[in-house]
Amino acid sequence: MADATLQHDAVHAVPGAYEAPLFGAYSKKVGMWLFLASDSLTFGALLFAFSYNRIYTAWPTPFHVQSIINSTIMTACLLSSSLTMVMAVFAAQRGDRTWTRYWLLATMAFGTAFIVLHGMEWSKLISEGLTIPWFLKLSSAGAATGEMAEISKNTPQFPATFFGLTAMHMLHVTIGVIYLGVMAFRKWFLPVLGVIWIAGYLLIPSDNVFHYGIHALGLGLVVAAIILFLKPKDYDAQDVEVSGLYWHFVDLVWMFIFPLVYLLSTKIT
């Protein structure tokens, strides 16, 4: 009995070493799965809206070779980030904090590359006239004429569903990059994020599509600061694994968006 008591106390002496599982999974993992299940309903509704409009509307095929090449590179970035995220989880399970941080940093780099490429794609489409008439009106698209401008005028459902779906996904990737930055560097990530936010706010013109992302960075900075200062902790292998669930979900959603939005709306000329 005494030996059992000592073993029980020893287990409890290690933070995070014991937690009552629910259905064979720890509560943090269950919580993330529940969040992802609810989030999948949001993306499911957006994908359904896009598919419904595609079936019952004279749907345009505005994407050409350049857009497909760009979106393929974006896909490669996300697939590579899934691999580096798996390596980060393995390193965390080995207790190798240095390589865990390196692999998380690599995942963040691929995610950031995806965001930049996606923003460049948006900028190109908007400059050619693909805008949401009642919402997204940037100065560069005001005098645009041609195929994209005609699509925005004659089939406004396309830009509405395209920007709605891809913007929601890009927001999730941005949140994921901030999430992994907090996991890897904790409070040290806040000043880096703050410098990026201030620099972007001052240097990026208000009529540039990247200016919209600056607001997401500012909100992410506030939320991350609140979490880190109210509940500071040294994140363990379970935390890294839970963050990996979120990142793989974001990657999986793109595997639906890429063929549905890009490949099926392609006109090779």
Q: Please report, for residues 6, 8, 114, 179, 233, the alpha-carbon distance to residue 227 in angstroms, rounded to integers and kept in the order given.
A: 34, 31, 26, 11, 10
pLDDT for 24? 54
Mean pLDDT of 210-225: 84
Q: 3-state class of 237 per DSSP?
A: helix
Q: What is the pLDDT of residues 118-146, one digit of tens each?
A: 988 988 888 888 887 655 555 444 555 67
The fraction of the chain above a pLDDT of 70, given in percent, is 84
Alpha helices, DSSP H, located in the chain = 2-13, 27-56, 65-94, 97-127, 147-154, 157-185, 189-203, 210-230, 237-257
- The closest alpha carbon to 210, from 123, 141, 144, 99, belongs to 123
Residue 208 has pLDDT above 50, yes or no: yes
Q: What is the pLDDT of residues 249-263, one digit of tens each?
A: 999 999 999 999 998
- The closest alpha carbon to 114, from 211, 265, 262, 254, belongs to 254
Q: Which domains does the chain have, with CATH numbers?
A: 31-265 (1.20.120.80)
pLDDT for 25? 56
Q: Which two tokens stand for residue 205?
A: 């013109």
The C-alpha angle with vertex 140 and arms to 137 and 142, in degrees rounded to 5, equals 60
pLDDT for 12? 45
Q: What is the pLDDT of residues 29-68, one digit of tens each?
A: 888 999 999 999 999 999 999 999 888 888 888 888 888 8
pLDDT for 62? 85
pLDDT for 134? 56
Q: d(Cα 200, Cα 102) in Å, to the nearest integer?
A: 25
